[in-house]
Amino acid sequence: MTLDEINNQLASLVNCGDPTFANAAQYVAQAAQAAQSGQLSSQELAETLKDIQRQMEIIQDMNQLQFKEVLNTAINGLLILAGAL
Partner 1 sequence: MKKIIALISVLMLNGCAVYDAVTMTKYDPNEYLLITEIKVDATDYADQCDDVNKSKLNAMVLSHKTIMFAAYSENLPSNGDGIKAARALNEIAQGLKERYKSGDKVSPLFCKLKFEGIEHSADLIQHVLGNRPR
Tell me how many residues contact partner 1 (CB under 8 A): 34
Determine the Cα–Cα distance for residues 32 and 20; give it in Å rounded to an integer: 18
18 binds partner 1 (CB under 8 A): no
Nearer to partner 1, 8 or 33 (CB): 33
Min separation Cβ 39 and partner 1, Å: 5
36 binds partner 1 (CB under 8 A): no
Q: What b/e string do you get for 20-44 counting C-beta neighbours within 10 Å, with b at 16 or more? A: eeeebbebbbebbeebeeeebeeee
Determine the Cα–Cα distance for residues 47 and 58; give it in Å rounded to an integer: 16
Min separation Cβ 2 and partner 1, Å: 25
Q: Note the residues at the interface with partner 1 (CB under 8 A).
A: 31, 34, 39-41, 43-44, 47-48, 50-52, 54-55, 57-59, 61-62, 64-66, 68-69, 71-73, 75-76, 78-79, 81-82, 85
